[in-house]
Structure 1
Amino acid sequence: MKKDKLVIGGHEFQSRFILGSGKFSLEMTNAVIQNGGVEMATLALRRANVGGEGNILDYMPENITLLPNTSGARTAEEAVRIARLARELGCGDFVKIEVIHDSKYLMPDNYETIKATEILAKEGFIVMPYMYPDLNVARSLESAGAAAIMPLGAPIGSNRGLLTKDFIKMLIDEIDLPIIVDAGIGRPSQACEAMELGVDAVMANTAVATAKDVPLMATAFRLAIEAGRSAYLAGLGRVLESKGEASSPLTGFLQD
């Protein structure tokens, strides 16, 4: 398992648990990162109060890879502007593209996301677009230069799990990029299921942030993601739909 690394844009990661940090108190951020074994965490630019009080960057470990997101962007143009500003502030070249103008369901605008991805990839960003799992859109994002694809499992913040499981499986089978389930994962068991399916990583935020014991839930997600990845690599056993099968021989054991 030590050689089983997640590679995004030429960068290697041991952990496959990516933290969405938007809903955590600043004081809790570091504990969650440590307990979850997290190596990459999102960063909403509005929380990077550089030079002032309440700066989330002060609570991030030095070795963490920052993943600024374009939260709040309603168009590709706005997303590009936020990404450029994050780079100027020293947040690095990674960027998670979020373009959402649907205020009721908070569904990503796949087509504006494609536009932003193409522009930023040409500028040397390592672009990780958040998207509704549509195979044709995923292909367009790959062609536009995305470094990974981040399909939603369920509506953002809902904790409803893998409602889009069948569509995510299509992406796994057809897209030659890391597939990271983002949004909707509500339980460690659902994160494990996603990893067993063959996704490369899972991002969680609300499920951890709203737990009664937040650091302990971060640990639970880390272990579930590791278990799901191990199960996928081991190869899941076959499923018998209409009959059972003895786990040990039923004949011959009384014979001399």
Structure 2
Amino acid sequence: MTSASAADPLTLYGVAFASRVLLGTSRYPSLASLSDSIEAARPGMVTVALRRQMQADTAEAGFFDLLKRHAVPLLPNTAGCQTVDEAVTTAHMAREVFETEWIKLELIGDDYTLQPDPIGLVEAAARLVKDGFKVLPYCTEDLVVGRRLVDVGCEALMPWGAPIGTGKGIVNPYGLRVLRERLPDVPLIVDAGLGVPSHACQAMEWGFDGVLLNTAVSQATDPAAMARAFAMGVEAGRAAYRAGPMDERDSAQASTPVVGMPFWHQDPG
């Protein structure tokens, strides 16, 4: 934890985390690459897809030992679920396997865009909150859906920047900024669609509380170097937000004061 993150931690459900970066663990070239990326990013949490990791054709020996060795808090997710019952059942399985009440709730409504199902998401979140889970729902930037998720007990939201794995960055800046403005007291973590550190830095400058990364790091030519770059981008964006950026203007305004300026250049008034 840096001195900056220690003084300004990411707090979710009353728990403080060491970093505002959350890191996914899928599609890395190797376990060594994943390990190096975790070391480089020093994330507050790492996500684990229970269904995908448990499949014999994708499981890799030593994966869970690696996660234990890094001692980073785990955030299981319900990736691949398409019904409410499926998501709820997977979450309960994850709680038993990983011994944690944290869950990143994913409920996909469209196979092409992988867009979350807003109606089912709210229902699944309500059930899981009632069952004692600390739910982090993966959603879009839709403000009304965000409010409904908060109403059923979600204390943080994970809106997408763009569809999963696209690397497009933030495709609806207006929608995300409105979400931030209208839910000022709710932790918001931008999840999915970021491609380069400047995307993450921009979101943090707008006042978002963190980012979750996977494809942007795992599919980079040098995943560890990209993980480190994202961590620096997130820290820079957060620092800029806290510093209070100047207001944007439509016209030029001289940065040099008029003191010492020749009188014929000064405003006669």
- Normalised TM-score (structure 1): 0.93
- What is the aligned partner in structure 1 of residue 63 from structure 2? 56
Is 1:44 aligned with 2:49? yes
8 Å contact from structure 1 (residues 68, 91) kept in 2: no
Deviation at residue 251 of structure 1 after TM alignment: 5.3
8 Å contact from structure 1 (residues 128, 149) kept in 2: yes
- What is the aligned partner in structure 2 of residue 15 from structure 1? 19
Deviation at residue 153 of structure 1 after TM alignment: 0.5
The 3-state SS of whatever aligns with 1:102 is coil
8 Å contact from structure 1 (residues 40, 64) kept in 2: yes
Deviation at residue 54 of structure 1 after TM alignment: 2.4
Deviation at residue 165 of structure 1 after TM alignment: 1.7
Distance across 1 between alignment mates of 2:9 and 2:39 = 19
- What is the aligned partner in structure 1 of residue 240 from structure 2? 231
Deviation at residue 5 of structure 1 after TM alignment: 1.1
Deviation at residue 209 of structure 1 after TM alignment: 1.1
Deviation at residue 62 of structure 1 after TM alignment: 4.6
Is 1:219 aligned with 2:236? no
- How many residues of Structure 1 are paired with residues of Structure 2 in the alignment? 253
Deviation at residue 254 of structure 1 after TM alignment: 6.5
Correspondence for 2:127 among 111, 119, 134: 119
How does 1:133-172 map onto structure 2 within 5 Å? 133-172=141-180
Correspondence for 1:241 among 237, 250, 255: 250
- What is the aligned partner in structure 1 of residue 267 from structure 2? none
Gaps of at least 5 residues in structure 2 are 264-269
- What is the aligned partner in structure 2 of residue 35 from structure 1? 40
- Normalised TM-score (structure 2): 0.89
Larger radius of gyration: 2
Gaps of at least 5 residues in structure 1 are none
8 Å contact from structure 1 (residues 32, 214) kept in 2: yes
Cα-to-partner distance string for 1:44-91 (whole Å, 9 max, x where unaligned): 1135449x8525321114521111110110011100000000111134
Distance across 2 between alignment mates of 1:48 and 1:58 = 13
Identity %: 42
8 Å contact from structure 1 (residues 27, 59) kept in 2: no
